[in-house]
Chains A and B, each alone.
Chain A
Amino acid sequence: MSNFFIATGVVLCLFMLLALYRTIFGPTIIDRMMGANIIGTKTTVLLIIIGTIYGRVDMFVDIALAYAMLNFIVTIAASRYFAHHKNIRAEGYGVLHYTPTKEADK
C-alpha cells in the first residue's frame, strides 16, 4: 500500500514539474499565477500523501488545511493589483527574451 502512495506522490511531483514550466516561462503573469496555484493545490494533496506514508495523517492535516485556507489570498491580491495596473505583461517579461533598453541603463 505504501508503494502505491509513493508512486502517487512521484506522479504528482511530475505534474508539478509541468506546472512549474508554466510558472517560470509563462509569458504573462496570469500564466505564472495559474501555475503557482496548481503547485499549491498539489502541495496540499502531497502533504496528506506524505502523512499517509508516515502513518501520522493527524500531524499533517493541519498544514494542508492552512494551505487550503490561505492559498487564494495571493490570487485576490493579484486581481486587485491588476484593477490598478492594466498591463499584464511587464517590459522585458521573459527570462530568455530580456534585453535591457537604453532607458533602463540610466
Chain B
Amino acid sequence: MIWQIDIMILTLIVICGVFAISVKDLLGAAVVFGAYSFLMCLLWTEMGAVDVAFTEAAVGAGVSTVLFFAAVHRSSRQVKARVSGRLLYKWLGLVASGLMGGVLFYASTDFPDWADPASPASSHLSPHFITQTLTETSVPNIVTSVLADYRGFDTMFETAVVLTAGLAVLIILRLGGCRTAGPVREKSAAIQTAYKDSIIRFVTRMVVPFMQLFALYVIAHGHHSPGGGFQGGVILGASFILLAISYDLKMALNRINEKAALLLANTGVLIYAGIGFLCMLLGANFLDYSILHRILPATDEIAARSHAMLGVEIGVALTVMVIVMVIYNNIVSNGTYEKGL
C-alpha cells in the first residue's frame, strides 16, 4: 500500500463511479465506465492483487466497453426518463436503498483491517497455501494453484457459468429474438466503398498475431506470473472482436464459424471436467491431479499437478475466448450474424 497514490486513486474512483451512473448519454456513460475500470485495475495492482488486476485490464480495456457500444448501436443511445412515475414509490426506493447502504456501512466496521494477519481469512487456510504451495504443486504463483488445483471445483463451475452466459445470449438473441437487424440504417453501398479503412486494417493485420501470441503466453505462463486461462481467453476473444470490428463480421465468422465456436466452447468445459473424471478413473478423487503421474510420462506426483493445471487453464481459455466472441457477435448483429459495427 502506497498511501499517497492510494488516496488519489480512491478519490478518482468515487468521482468516476458517481458520474458513470448520472451521465445521461449512454455512450458517454460507457466511456466513463471504461475509465472507472482503468482505475479499479490500478487500485487492485496497488493492493498487490495482480491477477485480479490483469482480469480487469483484459476485460475492461478489450471487451466490456466494446460490448456497451455494440448494445447501444443496436438499441438506443438515450435514457428514457420516466418522470411520470408515482412519487411515493420513488421515495420508498430511496429509503430502502438508503437503509440497505446504512446497514452495509455498519457491517463494514466489523471487517478486519487491511492485511491483518490475525483475521479469519488469513489465519486458517491461507498460511497453508502460502507455505506449502511450492512444495506440493511446484507452481510459484499461488493464485494459479489455488484457482486451478485447491479450489478447482469452484473454477470448473465458473467456467460452466461463462458457458451458460453465452448460451443465454444465444437463446435470447439468436433463437428467440426479433429477426430484424434493429433500428440501424444500414450504410448504402456508396458510403461503404467510400472509405476502405486501409490504415486500420493494416494495423489490425499487424497487431492481431502479436495479441494472440501474447494471449498464449499469458495462458502458458500463468504458473509463474499473473495471468491464466481467463485472462488469456479474454485477450484471444478480444483479438477476434478486433478483427470483426476492423474488417466485418463475416471475416471473423470465416475464421471461427458458429458451429465451430459452440463446439469449442463446450470442448473447453469438457477438457476441464474430463481431467477431473480421468483422476476418478485412475482411482483418486475428482480433480485430484497428483494421480495423473501414472499416465503422464516422466512426471512425479508434484509435477503432474502442475501439468494438469495447465490443461485445465487451456480448457478455461477455450471456453472464455469463444463465449466472448459469441456474445459480441450476437449483440452487435442482433442475433442475425449479418452486419456488425
Which A residues are closer than 8 A to B by beta carbons?
6, 9-10, 13-14, 16-17, 20, 23-24, 26, 29, 32-33, 35-36, 39-40, 43, 46-47, 50-51, 53-54, 58-60, 62-63, 65-67, 69-71, 73-74, 76-81, 83-85, 90-95, 98, 100, 104-105
Contacts and interface: CB of A to CB of B under 8 A. Distances in A.
Nearest to A38: B35
Contact of B45 (A26, A40, A63, A71): A63
Report, as a range, how many residues of chain B touch the other chain. Answer: 35 or more
Interface string B57-79: 11001100110011011000111
Contact of B242 (A39, A59, A65, A73): A73
Contacts of A43: 38-39, 41-42
Given A32-B31, A66-B57, A50 B24 contact: no
A6 B46 CA distance: 12
Contacts of B15: 20, 24
20 contacts: A10-B4, A13-B9, A20-B15, A23-B32, A24-B16, A24-B19, A24-B23, A29-B25, A36-B32, A60-B45, A62-B225, A71-B61, A73-B66, A74-B61, A76-B245, A78-B27, A81-B72, A81-B73, A91-B78, A98-B24
Given A40-B38, A47-B42, A63-B57, A77 B70 contact: yes
B41 to A, nearest CB: 7
B235 interface: yes
B272 interface: no
A-B pairs, top 4 by smallest CB distance, nearest first, are A13-B8, A70-B62, A100-B81, A80-B341
Given A66-B57, A74-B34, A104-B83, 8 more contacts: A26-B28, A39-B39, A40-B34, A50-B46, A63-B50, A66-B62, A78-B27, A105-B84
A9 B2 contact: yes
Interface string B177-219: 0000000110100010001000010000001001100100010
Contacts of B165: none
Contacts of B22: 95
A90 B77 contact: yes
Contacts of A73: 61-62, 66, 238, 241-242, 245
B159 interface: no
A25 B335 CA distance: 34
Contacts of A50: 2, 5, 42, 45-46
Contacts of B86: none
Nearest to A5: B2
Contacts of B48: 54
B35 A35 contact: yes
Among B28, B32, B78, B241, max chain A CB count under 10 A is at B28
A10 B8 contact: yes
Nearest to A88: B27
Given A73-B62, A104-B80, A105-B84, A90 B27 contact: yes
Contacts of B72: 81
B166 interface: no
Contacts of A6: 2, 4-5
Contact of A92 (B12, B25, B35, B62): B25
Contacts of A46: 5, 42
Contacts of B57: 63, 66-67, 70
Contacts of B58: 66, 70
A62 B227 contact: yes
